[in-house]
């Protein structure tokens, strides 16, 4: 990501990792409450394990604990950006039926605390066991390029309507990092922006943003056009053997009730969408 896109205090460097870690854990080793409701994967002992693994994810992260990462940290980003127009071409076909796409909260009930209107549309390709063979079949280039992302867990086109605002919130679990590739960025692009902690940046078509969504973030599309990005969650690189604990919990997430509910909702939408 280009430095001239960032406003505020600029990038937090690796020598400030401890400062960021304190912010991420409220300074006392405990993770802050996420900005929207989540359900525990399992009660009791498993809940305690999740808290423990979140702490080790912070302490043993390979790339530090930054709100916003330099995209060059992840070599696969350049591979995707090289072929971004292939992804954009498939998105353009999806956009022809934009109004028929599901709202994010129609699939994931947990996001209703940050969005309840019809201004945030999704087109899922993968998501913690929420696979969409029909969607993937219609986006073969994107589906193939996603295989270049190590530990890819969630992938979909995220489409924001004009004037959409997503209020400040935090993600529920720090075992993944978030990747955005700008695909459709309306002008003036500076008004189509994201705040991550005290840093504000905007998307560019064919360019990437990588951030930790457990830091507070907020999104605005204050333009008159639609904004679309490729939205991906991938496994946070963590040192061995603590990476095994993180991957165990992420894999267990596919059995969580909220994921199963989302899978059922998506299959219902998919059946209606493709019979038309």
CA distances from 272 to 104, 122, 205, 268, 276 (A): 17, 15, 31, 7, 7
8 domain-assigned: no
Cα distance between residue 147 and residue 149, in whole Å: 5
| For residues 151-157, average pLDDT | 96
- pLDDT of 137 > 80? The answer is yes
Q: What's the CA angle centered on 202, arms 196 and 206, to 5 degrees?
A: 120
| For residues 223-231, average pLDDT | 98
| For residues 114-135, average pLDDT | 89
Q: Please give the pLDDT value at position 41.
A: 42
Q: How many CB atoms lie within 10 A of CB 98?
A: 14
165 domain-assigned: yes
- pLDDT of 216 > 50? The answer is yes
pLDDT digits (tens, 9 = 90+) for 76-104: 999 999 999 999 999 999 999 999 999 99
- pLDDT of 31 > 80? The answer is no
6 domain-assigned: no
Cα distance between residue 160 and residue 164, in whole Å: 6
- pLDDT of 20 > 80? The answer is no
4 domain-assigned: no
> Which tokens is 36 given?
């929207």
| For residues 158-171, average pLDDT | 97
More confident residue, 143 or 47: 143
pLDDT band at 143 (very low <50, low <70, confident <90, very high): very high
pLDDT digits (tens, 9 = 90+) for 171-206: 989 999 999 999 999 999 999 999 999 999 999 999
206 contact partners, CB below 8 Å, separation of at least 6: 81, 84, 85, 88, 181, 182
130 contact partners, CB below 8 Å, separation of at least 6: 124, 259, 262, 263, 266
pTM listed for this prediction: 0.86
Within the chain, how many helices (H) and strands (E) appear?
A: 9, 11
Give yes or no for a contact between 203 and 209, defined as CB atoms under 8 angstroms apart: yes
| Domain around 237 | 14-275
Q: What is the mean pLDDT of the chain?
A: 87
177 domain-assigned: yes
What's the CATH number where 34 sits? 2.60.120.330
φ/ψ of 145, rounded to 5, equals -65, -30
pLDDT band at 6 (very low <50, low <70, confident <90, very high): low
158 domain-assigned: yes
135 domain-assigned: yes
179 domain-assigned: yes
Domain count, the chain: 1
CA distances from 23 to 9, 26, 55, 166, 181 (A): 16, 5, 13, 22, 27
CA distances from 7 to 38, 141, 193, 195, 206 (A): 31, 34, 11, 9, 20
- pLDDT of 256 > 90? The answer is no
Handedness of CA 122, 123, 126, 128 (dihedral sign): positive
DSSP string, 229-260: EEEEEEEPPB-TTHHHHHHHHHHHGGGSHHHH
Q: Which of 5-14, 105-114, 127-136 has the highest mean pLDDT?
A: 105-114
């Amino acid at each position: 990501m280009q430095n001239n896109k960032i406003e505020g205090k600029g990038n937090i460097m690796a020598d400030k990792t401890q400062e960021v870690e304190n912010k991420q854990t409220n300074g006392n080793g405990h993770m802050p409450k996420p900005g929207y409701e989540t359900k525990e994967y399992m009660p009791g002992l498993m809940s305690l394990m999740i808290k423990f693994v979140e702490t080790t994810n912070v302490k043993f992260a390979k790339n530090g604990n930054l709100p916003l990462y330099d995209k060059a940290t992840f070599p696969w980003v350049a591979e995707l950006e090289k072929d971004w127009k292939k992804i954009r071409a498939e998105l353009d076909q999806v956009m022809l039926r934009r109004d028929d796409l599901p709202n994010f909260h129609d699939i994931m009930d947990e996001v209703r605390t940050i969005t309840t209107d019809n201004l945030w549309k999704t087109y899922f390709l993968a998501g913690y066991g929420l696979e969409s063979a029909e969607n993937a079949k219609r986006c073969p280039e994107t589906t193939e390029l996603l295989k270049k992302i190590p530990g890819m867990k969630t992938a979909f086109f995220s489409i924001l309507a004009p004037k959409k605002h997503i209020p400040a919130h935090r993600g529920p679990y720090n075992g993944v990092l978030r990747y955005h590739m700008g695909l459709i960025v309306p002008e003036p692009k500076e008004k189509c922006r994201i705040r991550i902690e005290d840093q504000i940046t905007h998307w560019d078509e064919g360019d990437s943003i990588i951030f930790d969504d457990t830091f507070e973030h907020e999104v605005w599309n204050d333009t008159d056009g639609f904004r679309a990005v490729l939205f991906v969650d991938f496994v946070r690189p963590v040192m061995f053997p603590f990476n095994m604990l993180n991957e165990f919990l992420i894999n267990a997430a596919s059995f969580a009730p909220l994921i199963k509910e989302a899978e059922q909702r998506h299959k219902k939408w998919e059946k209606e969408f493709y019979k038309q």
